[in-house]
Chains A and B, each alone.
Chain A
Amino acid sequence: MPRAGERRSPEELARNFAEAPPLGPSEALFEASRCLYCFDAPCTRACPTGIDVPRFIRQLLHRDEIGAAKTILGANIFGGSCARACPTEVLCEGACVDRLLSGGPIPIGRLQRLACDSAEGVSFFEPGPPTGKKVAIVGAGPAGLSCAHELRRLGHDVTVFEGRSLPGGLDTHGVAAYKLSTDFVLAEIERICAIGIDLRLNHPVTPAGLRELLNEFDSVFLGIGLGRTLPLGIEGEDLAGVWESLDFIDQTRVRPFEECEVGREVIVIGGGNTAIDVATAARRLGAEKVTIAYRRDEASMPAFAFEYDLAKGDGVRFEWFAAPLRIVGEDGAARGVEFARTRLDESGQLQMIPESNFILPADMVVKALGQGPLVEWLEALPGLEHRAGRIVAEATTGATSIAGLFAGGDCLRKGGEVVDAVQDGKVAAKGIDARLKARMGRASDSQ
């Protein structure tokens, strides 16, 4: 569709999607000085990758930015991305005891960003002594690359197969552009791969291809994420101007902002963090009116409170108790959405109110119901246990029901954070390493 909405200059668009300014040196020292250096720190326990937060903040306080970066990246090789994309308010900063002391947490995410940015160009990690073992990684998202990096540190050869033309998975294609720039992500991945990861882009792996990899490599890690955005299952989804949330966000990550498509009046259907990302991006691209329509009430909305506040600050409107019935079209293009008004009955069940239908006009409708699982792909692998499209893997090793096949990231769950995927990759690397070492041990025993 042609660009609608207000025209914005490239400079204005760049400003709208610019990262928050970094902490200045004095601000950083002040904030770092507030950290109590808790024992068995709640922030560290709240971090899926277990970054030793008090330690890196103390290193910053004592002006060892490089040491701080090493502390962070040793636990989370995507420390730079996570500093920007993590919902810190509900992770490390949510657990910070300074909230009880001063009312506000230490800005851990921003301090982490400063540390990681200070160490740009410094290489901390070297490949371990070669083991002669080869591991294939399917999917160059945070889970796959985290696993790959960890395996290289342990001395294994690693080849990463990525179906798309850019690495990074959702880090590149799915995180809101104002949080994370694609240039940053690609530079971070280049640093990660510098340890000696063989990254093969434009190399999709089919289920049959995976079986070959299992024969060819000593172990395989599957980090393929999830599938497309779930359909609404209503009339009009094929109209022009109807978008899936990930496609909408992806364009802001891989195209110049002035070439991104946006409507004049945009309706986003869903109540999660992705709906917020879409709505704020649409506003920042120039949409005049952006409405998030959600079936339930404000309190039930799954989006984090700080994301909701951000959307309100961007002038996004909210339509509560609105269940979409059909997308209204004209000449093959979306013109609006017809909703039924809902209510919660006494038992908390959602009910549609009869004869309550109403139409909201829109020239762009974005579906943000979350991603569906890759059920068919997984079904094509005999013996792979999954539950409704989520691969079943051992929590401590990432091992799946197929010998030699490990998995991590969003293909294990409903959709997590980058930091969860990174941790899955680490866990699976340890699981793979243990398996390979055990086999090497047996091989040397038999010699």
Chain B
Amino acid sequence: MPDLSVEFRGVKAPNPFWLASAPPTNSEYQVRRAFDAGWGGAVWKTLGFEPIVNVSSRYGAIDFEGRKVVGLNNIELITDRTLDVNLAEIARVKKAHPKHALFVSLMVESRREAWHEIVKRTQDAGADGIELNFGCPHGMSERGMGSAVGQVPEYARMITGWAKEVATVPVMVKLTPNVADVTAIGRAAVEGGADALSLINTINSVMGVDLETLAPKPSVGGYGSHGGYCGPAVKPIALNMVSSLAKDPRVGVPISGIGGIETWQDAAEFLLLGAGSVQVCTAVMHRGFRIVDGLIDGLSGWMRSKGFGRIGDFAGKSVPRLKPWGELDLNYKVVAEIDQAKCIHCGLCYVACEDGCHQSIRWEREPAQVGIRPGVGDGSLNVFTIEQDSCVGCNMCSLVCPVEGCIAMKPVDRGLAPMSWNQYQAMLAEERVAKIEPPGHA
């Protein structure tokens, strides 16, 4: 069994699967249930000095063609319970679960004394670390907190500094994705003394409109407000931001990856792209704490199959594989190939290629022996083959194919040495290479 334990800026946890600061970490009852279920750590739902007041309803979801909650948004605020109650519960959880990582998310007004006080009280309660919530895009941001801080590098740097002035435990800064350049904020937080970063917080969003009542979703008595978007649909945005910070030499602190993690594969991808732990919320809100079993089993199995004994053996391993576009090899070529034995004749590859891509799939009707059988409607069978000469290797047909392993993208050896766009430009300038001809169909 591979070792899943992590040490994240000095904080140890039995595994990298942590719960994000969110409704599932609202109370002692929930966090203890989560730790009992197998979660390695948790970030307590954001504390402030005064309990806030919430609205009803609070969540909105995107369902996609039969799959529920592929995206979720909320207009819930930080904790609606008193600081004293929360801190007492934190102390009890920490006592009962000393081996689990327990960070506590904080958000108070932008006053040095306020931050000093809450940081001190939180670490006194026994928190292993503190997460500064510079990310919430709704409700609190209008009051000058959350993403209002996280969108301005100077504020992020300053408030991180205030927390660090009194912190005796690691301070992690949670970043908002609602910025043009997340690395600017990440660098500022590190300059302010951040020991770690976590991202992404939710993306600003309006979930939709009820076509019956014309009210926005989620609706509060017929009215709505922008809220924070999360869930499986946001994962690629999070991976880009996590990896860009992991690559940045001016950041250089551990990152806790957040954003749409539902499966062990998602977690492995975040770890490969620079995260040292991952935080989960939507998947748990959807299906409960029990999903952690599958995450642990799946990641362990994959690590075993890859020969990775510890998380550290692969964490960050894919970061160097991300390069600027101009450094990618223009001479590398793949073409699609359809396994006719697996093809079910749905024609999705054909129509995708024909209408959206490069018209490189041939469609023929073959007479069939039987009038009607699967794929045969009127005595003929649609047969699709790749025109490999004009196929540009875009992937689209293989992406839409519903059959596992039916369309493969096969590398073609063109006998050309690798050449990136940057090299190509340099060589063109020196007239060492001929201009690349447009593809045949252009």
Q: Mark B368-386, 1 if CB is under 8 A from A, else 0.
A: 0000111111101010000
Residue numbers in A under 8 Å from B65 (CB-CB): 33, 61
**A36 with B372, Cβ < 8 A, contacts A29-B66, A61-B65, A61-B66 known:** no
Q: Which residue of A lies closest to B347 (CB)?
A: A39
Other-chain contact of B374, A34, A39, A61, A99 (Cβ < 8 Å): A99
Q: Mark B350-391, 1 if CB is under 8 A from A, else 0.
A: 110000000000010000000011111110101000000000
**A43 with B377, Cβ < 8 A, contacts A36-B402, A61-B65, A91-B372 known:** yes
Majority SS at the chain B contact face: loop
Instruction: Establish whether residues A42 and B377, one from each chain, have CB atoms under 8 Å apart when the complex forms.
Output: yes
Instruction: Establish whether residues B348 and A39, one from each chain, have CB atoms under 8 Å apart when the complex forms.
Output: yes
CA distance A414 to B38 in the complex (A): 68
**A101 with B373, Cβ < 8 A, contacts A38-B348, A39-B346 known:** no
Q: How far is the CB of B211 from chain A (nearest CB, A)?
A: 9
Residue numbers in B under 8 Å from A61 (CB-CB): 65-66
Q: How far is the CB of B379 from chain A (nearest CB, A)?
A: 9
Which residues of A (87-131) have their CB < 8 Å from a CB of B? 90-91, 94-101, 105
Instruction: Establish whether residues A97 and B351, one from each chain, have CB atoms under 8 Å apart when the complex forms.
Output: no
Q: Which residue of B lies closest to A94 (CB)?
A: B372
Instruction: Establish whether residues A97 and B66, one from each chain, have CB atoms under 8 Å apart when the complex forms.
Output: no
- With a 10 A CB-CB cut-off, give which of B344, B373, B374, B382 has the most chain A CB atoms: B374
Instruction: Establish whether residues B66 and A95, one from each chain, have CB atoms under 8 Å apart when the complex forms.
Output: no
Q: Which residue of A lies closest to B384 (CB)?
A: A39
Instruction: Establish whether residues A46 and B378, one from each chain, have CB atoms under 8 Å apart when the complex forms.
Output: yes
Residue numbers in B under 8 Å from A96 (CB-CB): 374
Residue numbers in A under 8 Å from B402 (CB-CB): 36, 101
Judge if B345 is at the interface, Cβ distance under 8 Å: yes
Q: How far is the CB of A25 from chain B (nearest CB, A)?
A: 12
Judge if B285 is at the interface, Cβ distance under 8 Å: no
Residue numbers in A under 8 Å from B346 (CB-CB): 36, 38-39, 97
Instruction: Establish whether residues B344 and A46, one from each chain, have CB atoms under 8 Å apart when the complex forms.
Output: no
Judge if A40 is at the interface, Cβ distance under 8 Å: yes
Q: How far is the CB of B219 from chain A (nearest CB, A)?
A: 18
Q: How far is the CB of B353 from chain A (nearest CB, A)?
A: 10
Judge if A358 is at the interface, Cβ distance under 8 Å: no
Other-chain contact of B377, A29, A41, A105 (Cβ < 8 Å): A41
CA distance A140 to B374 in the complex (A): 34
Instruction: Establish whether residues A97 and B372, one from each chain, have CB atoms under 8 Å apart when the complex forms.
Output: no
Judge if B403 is at the interface, Cβ distance under 8 Å: yes
Q: How far is the CB of A200 from chain B (nearest CB, A)?
A: 37
Judge if A262 is at the interface, Cβ distance under 8 Å: no
CA distance A96 to B66 in the complex (A): 19
Judge if A44 is at the interface, Cβ distance under 8 Å: yes
With contacts defined as CB atoms under 8 Å apart, how many contacts are there between chain A and chain B in the complex?
Answer: 70
Judge if A32 is at the interface, Cβ distance under 8 Å: yes
Other-chain contact of B376, A36, A44, A47, A95 (Cβ < 8 Å): A95
CA distance A161 to B413 in the complex (A): 73
Instruction: Establish whether residues A39 and B66, one from each chain, have CB atoms under 8 Å apart when the complex forms.
Output: no
Q: How far is the CB of B357 from chain A (nearest CB, A)?
A: 14
CA distance A46 to B403 in the complex (A): 22
Judge if A377 is at the interface, Cβ distance under 8 Å: no
Residue numbers in B under 8 Å from A34 (CB-CB): 66
Residue numbers in B under 8 Å from A95 (CB-CB): 372-377
**A33 with B66, Cβ < 8 A, contacts A39-B347, A100-B344 known:** yes
Instruction: Establish whether residues A45 and B378, one from each chain, have CB atoms under 8 Å apart when the complex forms.
Output: yes
Q: How far is the CB of A268 from chain B (nearest CB, A)?
A: 27
Residue numbers in B under 8 Å from A90 (CB-CB): 372
Q: Which residue of A lies closest to B379 (CB)?
A: A45
Other-chain contact of B345, A42, A46, A47, A94 (Cβ < 8 Å): A42
CA distance A287 to B67 in the complex (A): 47
CA distance A98 to B374 in the complex (A): 8
Residue numbers in B under 8 Å from A45 (CB-CB): 377-378, 380
Q: Which residue of A lies closest to B66 (CB)?
A: A33
Q: Mark B116-140, 1 if CB is under 8 A from A, else 0.
A: 0000000000000000000000000
Residue numbers in B under 8 Å from A43 (CB-CB): 377
Q: How far is the CB of B241 from chain A (nearest CB, A)?
A: 31
Residue numbers in B under 8 Å from A42 (CB-CB): 345, 374-377, 382
Instruction: Establish whether residues B348 and A101, one from each chain, have CB atoms under 8 Å apart when the complex forms.
Output: no
Residue numbers in B under 8 Å from A184 (CB-CB): none
Residue numbers in B under 8 Å from A36 (CB-CB): 346, 348, 402
Q: Mark B330-352, 1 if CB is under 8 A from A, else 0.
A: 00000000000000111110110
Q: How far is the CB of B416 from chain A (nearest CB, A)?
A: 35
Q: How far is the CB of A67 from chain B (nearest CB, A)?
A: 14
Q: Mark A315-341, 1 if CB is under 8 A from B, else 0.
A: 000000000000000000000000000
Judge if A30 is at the interface, Cβ distance under 8 Å: yes
Q: How far is the CB of A94 from chain B (nearest CB, A)?
A: 5
- With a 10 A CB-CB cut-off, give which of B351, B363, B377 has the most chain A CB atoms: B377
**A46 with B372, Cβ < 8 A, contacts A30-B66, A36-B402, A101-B403 known:** yes
CA distance A100 to B340 in the complex (A): 13
CA distance A349 to B195 in the complex (A): 90
CA distance A91 to B371 in the complex (A): 9
CA distance A328 to B232 in the complex (A): 74
CA distance A98 to B363 in the complex (A): 20
CA distance A45 to B376 in the complex (A): 8
Which residues of A (27-85) have their CB < 8 Å from a CB of B? 29-30, 32-34, 36-47, 61
Q: Mark B75-92, 1 if CB is under 8 A from A, else 0.
A: 000000000000000000
Q: Which residue of B lies closest to A90 (CB)?
A: B372
**A97 with B373, Cβ < 8 A, contacts A32-B66, A33-B66, A36-B346 known:** no
Residue numbers in B under 8 Å from A91 (CB-CB): 372
CA distance A94 to B374 in the complex (A): 6
Q: Which residue of B lies closest to A46 (CB)?
A: B377
CA distance A97 to B342 in the complex (A): 12
**A101 with B344, Cβ < 8 A, contacts A46-B377, A95-B375, A96-B374 known:** yes
Instruction: Establish whether residues A39 and B376, one from each chain, have CB atoms under 8 Å apart when the complex forms.
Output: no
Instruction: Establish whether residues B378 and A97, one from each chain, have CB atoms under 8 Å apart when the complex forms.
Output: no
Q: Which residue of A lies closest to B354 (CB)?
A: A39
Other-chain contact of A100, B67, B363, B372, B375 (Cβ < 8 Å): B375
Q: How far is the CB of B374 from chain A (nearest CB, A)?
A: 4
Residue numbers in B under 8 Å from A99 (CB-CB): 374
Residue numbers in B under 8 Å from A44 (CB-CB): 377
13 residue pairs A–B, Cβ–Cβ below 8 Å: A38-B345, A39-B350, A40-B347, A40-B363, A41-B347, A42-B345, A42-B375, A46-B376, A90-B372, A95-B375, A97-B346, A97-B374, A105-B374
Additional A-B contacts beyond A36-B348, A39-B382 (8; CB < 8 A): A39-B348, A42-B345, A45-B380, A46-B378, A94-B372, A95-B372, A95-B376, A100-B344
Ranked 8 nearest A-B pairs via Cβ: A33-B66, A45-B377, A39-B347, A42-B377, A46-B377, A99-B374, A39-B351, A45-B378
Name B's A-contacting residues (CB within 8 A). 65-67, 344-348, 350-351, 363, 372-378, 380, 382, 402-403
